[in-house]
């Protein structure tokens, strides 16, 4: 059981979750800055105003990465640091570019490979105000392509690019449930605007087209001289049938993955939306023009996989409500036989199940022709961690076990199943702003003391990954 000798392992973060410094050096506001100011949207009434203060502590972050032996670091750029308003005719902020250029230089000098995500949910507020942001099929893809070109030109030393992080979250949580910025939903007690039955599918389509435009720009005008690779990161959970004897539950397991992952992956690999989605959603799913399909199909050099948990899946009968986004099914933690999917964590949606990880790796590999895969996020919260004394927090054996089990499941997928896996990034390098959950939920391998100048304390899990991967990666 082993991973390839050039396997990259390290950690992942996102700009709004760690950087802070929201007004520094010409940065413009993002939709998350605005969303956090709406009462009731963030669990602890917090925001990313300071977060982990990482904009000012890049050396400290790199020293932390070096101290735990990381080979790579996946981070995202703040679009509104680079183009404060966001549009293709708006001023570019050189200070923002210079910050990221230096950070990449410093990572490379430390022998840490950068993987850059262009967009991790923090759209410039100016674009949302100007034309509705992600809802605009014409303007948004053009503005995203322009932003991508600015960055590709400025940072030629980066060889691994990700266009979008988890477009499912941007679409569903941003435009169906309203749980994430910009908070659109049909529930008028939560938002004055939104159409949960239609807007998410429009947003998903526009994200795919914007991804395709950025990839074409990279391949046409940058890759020939700079080299490198580009892909998208998609999130999805593993599935088990609630009743394995019921063919409808078995079928619903695939449908759940199709509504989460294949919504984006099928157009990229096959040029069309999944049949299960077309059947349920009909004309609420936008139709690809010939030009859009040409941009999207084939637009992945690798598959970025974010994965955390699994569910038992129970099919539903009857006509699903218009705002259903799961595929007319239930997600459960217990099977018909009473088996539990995994132990509780601080996150209501997350329960460890390492075998599910291996199963999903195989599902993706088989469906999409054995693509090159990077696991771009994987990790866990701990139930009650935020309320523990520091000494107990630093002994995070639950997280150590999670990484051990998931890494071994991944190694089996490679060595026994033939999955083409090239890298793994643990979520996250440090505790950070956990979106709508604020700072109450911790995912980091490093404890951040928000009350005392964001001081960092590596947990046991921070030290566990190097020996873990040393034991799994081929030596010659």
Catalytic residues: 166, 377
The C-alpha atoms of residue 58 and residue 33 are separated, in whole angstroms, by 22
User: Please, are residues 284 and 201 in contact by the beta-carbon 8 Å criterion?
Assistant: yes
Which tokens belong to 275?
A: 């049949």
239, 256 contact by CB (below 8 A): yes
Rounded alpha-carbon distances, angstroms, from residue 132 to 7, 83, 138, 290, 470: 41, 17, 11, 24, 48
Closest CA to 75 of 432, 369, 368: 432
Handedness of CA 453, 454, 459, 463 (dihedral sign): negative
Cα–Cα distance for residue pair 376/424, rounded to 1 Å: 6
Tokens of 261: 């992952």
**Residue 156 region by backbone torsions, left for phi larger than 0, else alpha for psi between -120 and 50, else beta:** alpha
- CA distances to 10, 87, 385, 431 from 444, rounded to whole Å, are 13, 34, 11, 4
HSE-CB for 74 with a 13 A CA cutoff: 31
Residue pointed to by tokens 């010409």 = 26
Residue pair 469/414 in contact by the 8 Å Cβ criterion: no
Distance CA 419, CA 408 (A): 13
SS3 state of residue 463: helix
Work out the angle between the directed axes of helices 58-67 and 94-109 (0-180°, nearest 10).
20
Tokens of 465: 């990954």
On whether the CB atoms of residues 374 and 304 are closer than 8 A, the answer is yes
């Amino acid at each position: 059981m082993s991973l390839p000798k050039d396997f990259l392992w390290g950690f992942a973060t996102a700009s709004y979750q760690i950087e802070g410094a929201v007004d520094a050096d010409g940065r413009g506001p993002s939709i998350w800055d605005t969303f956090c100011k709406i009462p009731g949207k963030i669990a602890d009434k917090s925001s990313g105003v300071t977060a982990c203060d990482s904009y000012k502590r890049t050396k400290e972050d790199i020293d932390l990465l070096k101290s735990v032996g990381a080979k790579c670091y996946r981070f995202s750029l703040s679009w509104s640091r680079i183009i404060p308003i966001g549009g293709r005719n708006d001023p570019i902020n050189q200070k923002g570019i210079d910050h990221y250029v230096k950070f990449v230089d410093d990572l490379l000098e430390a022998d840490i490979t950068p993987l850059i995500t262009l967009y991790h949910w923090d759209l410039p507020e100016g674009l949302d105000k100007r034309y509705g942001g992600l809802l605009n099929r014409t303007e948004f893809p053009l503005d995203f392509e322009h932003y991508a070109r600015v960055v590709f030109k400025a940072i030629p030393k980066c060889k691994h690019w990700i266009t979008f992080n988890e477009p499912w979250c941007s679409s569903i949580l941003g435009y169906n449930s309203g749980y994430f910025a910009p908070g659109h939903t049909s529930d008028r007690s939560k938002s004055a605007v939104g159409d949960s039955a239609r807007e998410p599918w429009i947003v998903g389509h526009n994200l795919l087209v914007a991804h395709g435009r950025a990839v074409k720009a990279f391949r046409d005008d940058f890759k020939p001289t700079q080299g490198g690779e580009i892909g998208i990161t998609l999130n999805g959970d593993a599935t088990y049938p609630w009743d394995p004897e019921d063919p409808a539950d078995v079928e619903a397991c695939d449908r759940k993955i199709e509504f989460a992952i294949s919504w984006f992956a099928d157009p990229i690999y096959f040029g069309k939306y999944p049949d299960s989605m077309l059947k349920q959603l009909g004309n609420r799913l936008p139709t690809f023009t010939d030009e859009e399909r040409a941009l999207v199909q084939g637009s992945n050099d690798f598959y970025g996989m974010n994965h955390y948990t699994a569910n038992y899946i129970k099919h539903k009968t009857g006509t699903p409500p218009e705002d259903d986004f799961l595929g007319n099914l239930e997600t459960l933690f217990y099977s018909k036989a009473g088996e539990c999917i995994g132990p509780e964590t601080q996150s209501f949606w997350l329960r460890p199940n390492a075998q599910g990880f291996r199963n999903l790796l195989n599902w993706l590999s088989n469906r999409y022709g054995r693509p090159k895969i990077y696991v771009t996020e994987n990790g866990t919260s701990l139930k009650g961690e935020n309320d523990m004394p520091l000494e107990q927090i630093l002994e995070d054996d639950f997280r150590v076990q999670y990484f051990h089990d998931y890494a071994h499941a991944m190694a089996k997928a490679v060595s026994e199943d033939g999955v083409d896996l090239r890298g793994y990034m643990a979520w996250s390098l440090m505790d950070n702003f956990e979106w709508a959950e604020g700072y109450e939920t911790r995912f980091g391998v490093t404890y951040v003391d928000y009350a005392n100048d964001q001081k960092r304390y590596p947990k046991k899990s921070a030290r566990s990954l190097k020996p873990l991967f040393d034991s799994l990666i081929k030596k010659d």
